[in-house]
Amino acid sequence: MRFENKAILITGAARGIGLSAAELFAKEGGMVVLTDTDSEKLSDSVNKLRSQDLKVEGVSLNVTNRREWESVVTGVVEKHGRLDVLINNAGLNEVATVEDTTIEQWQKMMPVNRDGVFHGIQFGVAAMKETGGVIINVASITAGVAAPELVAYGTSKAAVSQLSKTATVDRARKGYNIRINSIHPGFTDTRMVDKMLDSLGDGASTFAKSIIKGIPMKRLARPCEIAKPILFLASDGGYTAA
C-alpha cells in the first residue's frame, strides 16, 4: 500500500496505459482521479474499477485547455488536500513521413502530446511546491529513435523528453521536493496503436511485421507492463537527471 491516502491524477486514463496505471495505483491504496476526453469510456472504466472497491473518480479533461487543467487540479487539491502524483499520459498518433505530414496533422498532435504535458507540469508543480510530489510524463521510444513514419509523433515525444529533464533540474535548483521523470515505451497493445495500423489499410500487416521483427520478445508490450514502471517511478527514491 505504497500510495495509501495519496492523490493521483492521470490523463488519458479511460483505456490503455493510463487505465492500467490507475488500477495499479488504486490497488496500492491511492485515491486516483482518471481524466479523459472520452466521457462515456471514462465512466465505464471508473465503474469497473469501483466494482473492485477501488477509490477512483473520473473527470473530463482536455489537456490542451489550460482553464480545464486549472479547474481539475484545483478540484483535486480541494477534495483531497494535495496532489501527490501526476501522470501526463494523454496522447495522439498519426502515421506520416516528413513529406506526407499535413499541417493539420502537425497542429493536431502538438497541442496534445507536447503542450498538454507542458500545461500539466506547470499546474502540477504549482500544486506540489509546498507538499512535494512526483510528475511522470509518458514519452515514447520514438523520442530518441528515428521512426520515419511517425515524424510528428516522434518530434512531440522528443519535446516531452527534454521538457522533463529541464523541468526536473529547475525544480531541484529551487529546492522543491518534486521529482519529474519521463518514461519511453515501445509499441504497446493499445487503441492508439490499433488506430495507427487501421489507418495504413493494406499496408498494416507489413508495418506490423516490421515492428514485431525489431522487438526481442516478438510481441507488442502490454499496457500493464508500462504501468508497472510508472508505479515504480512514483515510489520513493530517485538520484539522477539524465
Write down the number of H helices and E strands in the chain.
9, 6
Task: Give the three cell numbers for residue 226.
Answer: 508500462
Closest CA to 186 of 159, 156, 222, 161: 222
Q: How far apart are CA 77 and CA 238, in angstroms?
A: 25
- Sequential DSSP letters for 46-99: HHHHHTTT--EEEEE--TT-HHHHHHHHHHHHHHHS---EEEE-------B-TT
Phi, psi of 94 (to 5 degrees): -140, 150
State the helix-helix crossing angle for 66-80 and 116-128, rounded to 10 degrees: 30
Cα separation of 31 and 57, whole Å?
Answer: 8
How many other CB atoms sit within 10 Å of the CB of residue 212? 13
Q: Which residues are catalytic?
A: 153
H or E stretch at 208: helix 204-213
The residues near 57 (Cβ < 8 Å, ≥ 6 apart) are 32, 33, 34, 46
